Amino acid sequence: MSNKHMKPTGFEDITSDRISSLPDEILHHIMSFMTAREAVQTCVLSTRWRYIWLCLRCLNTEICQFTSKKIFVRFMDNILLRRGFVPLDSFSLIGWRDDVSLNHPRTNLWVCHAIRSNVRVLQIFEYHGLFDLDHSFFISSHLKILNLRCVSTTALFIEKLFSGCPVLEELSMVDCRVFATKFSSSTLKKLTFISHTPMVKIVFMMILKTL
């Protein structure tokens, strides 16, 4: 056979899409390093990728990737509606921008969705103002790690958190407003408070004296 009709050695291996041929579990692991918006955008790569993101077990949403709060809210509503209650390993809401904060009536509903999806690691990071976190849905036998930044909570929240989440092992609160005088948990292994404002420091001092 003439050489001009022959492909160079290894040509087929070079041009084939090896990543798309990987099992769903490995693709999900790769996508876990992406933000939720980036993961959803992979649906345009090929028919193989069209629905992979629907079963993601790690959702990390950064508000800085959206041009307005309206677009951000629409994205969150759509992605959670489409994926249903597929179990979650981790769920993060991170607000970086001045004009698009987490303070929206639907934010607590998204957190509730994550808890109902048996999330194990939950992170809520606000950077402008304080986000009021609803305590009523914090009932989970799966939540192990809760990381909060610039979140306002009440004594009832702390009480419900430890009683409603019996396997909680780590709690981190950075620049949070916490009105509580007692922390009681038989499962908590790591408790972290970090504050950069005098008002929150005073509240924390009152809490720490009662431990």
Q: Is the pLDDT of residue 75 over 90?
A: yes
Q: Comparing 12 with 72, which gets the higher pLDDT?
A: 72
Per the listing, tokens 């949403």 go with: 61
Confidence of residue 98 (pLDDT cuts 50, 70, 90): low
What pLDDT was estimated at residue 23? 85
What pLDDT was estimated at residue 207? 44
In a domain, 142, yes or no: yes
Which are the contacts of 118, defined by CB distance < 8 A and separation ≥ 6? Answer: 87, 88, 140, 142
In a domain, 158, yes or no: yes
CA 156-59-121 angle, to 5 degrees, is 45
In a domain, 69, yes or no: no
CA distance 76 to 191: 30
- Domain span holding position 144: 130-211
> For the chain, what percent of residues have pLDDT higher than 70?
82
Q: Comparing 179 with 162, which gets the higher pLDDT?
A: 162
In a domain, 164, yes or no: yes
CA distance 156 to 147: 18
Number of domains present in the structure of the chain: 1
* Burial of 88 (C-beta count, 10 Å sphere; 0-12/13-18/19+): buried
CA 179-95-198 angle, to 5 degrees, is 35
Mean pLDDT of the chain: 82
Least confident of 16-20, 57-61, 156-160: 16-20
In a domain, 166, yes or no: yes
